Amino acid sequence: MQLGKLGVWQFTDGMTAAESASFAQKVEKWGYSALWIPEATGREPLAHAAWLLANTSKLIVATGIANIYARDARASVSGQNTLAEQSGGRFLLGLGVSHVPLVEGVRGHTYGAPVATMRAYLEAMKSGAPFSAVPPAEAPPTVIAALGPKMLELAKTHAAGAHPYLVTPEHTAMARKILGPGPMLCVEQKVLRESDPAKAREVARNTIGFYLALPNYRNNLLRLGYSAQEIDDKSDRVTDALVAWGDAKTIRTRIDAHFAAGASHVCIQAIPPEGGRMADDVLLAELAPGGS
């Protein structure tokens, strides 16, 4: 898989199926190499990936992330190989352990030790999940959501790389140091086309507030040197670190900082100036690596 440098990370649950297909076609036309879609309480991501792949011709569709508690290892192998074969190798499976509220509160499962649970899952995919249908031409890659050192080490030894979400260039540098030069490092970066500091930070705080209450993201920020008080207050320092706001030139500087720190791919989540989970098409077109 030749994953280019820039991709788009986008919630598509607010779009109809036809709208999501049209959006994927725009992402492809703009020249982005991949469209990343999440899994929470909306569409089943592998089924939706099939729709997006069927409506595009070059675009890679990646899950960011598919929850390992939603399907067993064999189901992931079957889905991954099916989508890779159907699309000519354009599906990238991103897996993650999700978060306690989504796993226990929403799905009713018991949330296990994250690294051990992910390791067992990846090993089951590799050794205990046969696929008897026509295989894809090449074995499809898997990346895992990884923030802490132990999960990043697992991404190095048991996967094709890592997909860190809600991170800074400083985290990217730490991740690359752990991963070494070979594995994929596909980082998500939130971006916002707003140059007024007060307006930008208001929208940014509303966007990141949900995430800062989740232990996985909170602990990662603590490791990076942010205080518990800064995180609780959604301070300017935390907000500015997680959301790149301003004009396209300013935002490109943040994206370039991730590449300088060792990212192989940056998937940008373009927040509309008024907030919400729909995409800012104007900003995506401005930041596009090619196309029209």
Is 0.95 surpassed by the pTM of this model? Answer: yes
Burial (CB count <10 Å: 0-12, 13-18, 19+), residue 224: middle
Class of domain 6-190+261-287: alpha beta
> What is the tens place of the pLDDT at every residue in 122-150?
999 999 778 999 999 999 999 999 999 99
Backbone angles phi, psi at 88, to 5 degrees: 70, 35
Q: 65-76: buried (b, 16+ CB within 10 Å) or exposed (e) per residue? A: bbbbbbbebeeb
> What is the tens place of the pLDDT at every residue in 242-256?
999 999 999 999 999
Task: Write out the DSSP string of 112-166.
Answer: --HHHHHHHHHHHHHHS----SPPPSSPPPEEE---SHHHHHHHHHHSSEE---S
Rg value, the chain, Cα:
18
Sequence letter at residue 174: M
250: left (phi over 0), alpha (psi -120 to 50) or beta: alpha
Q: What pLDDT is recorded for position 177? A: 98
Q: What pLDDT is recorded for position 8? A: 98
Q: What pLDDT is recorded for position 100? A: 83
Those residues of the chain that have pLDDT short of 70 are 291-292
Gap between the Cα atoms of 130 and 78, Å rounded:
8
Q: Domains of the chain: which residue ranges?
A: 6-190+261-287
Burial (CB count <10 Å: 0-12, 13-18, 19+), residue 25: middle
Please name the residue that has the structure tokens 């007024």.
196
Q: How many angstroms from the chain centroid is the CA of residue 217?
A: 14
Nearest 5°: the CA angle 57, 59, 63 is 130
Instruction: State both tokens at 163.
Output: 């997909």
Instruction: State both tokens at 172.
Output: 């990217």
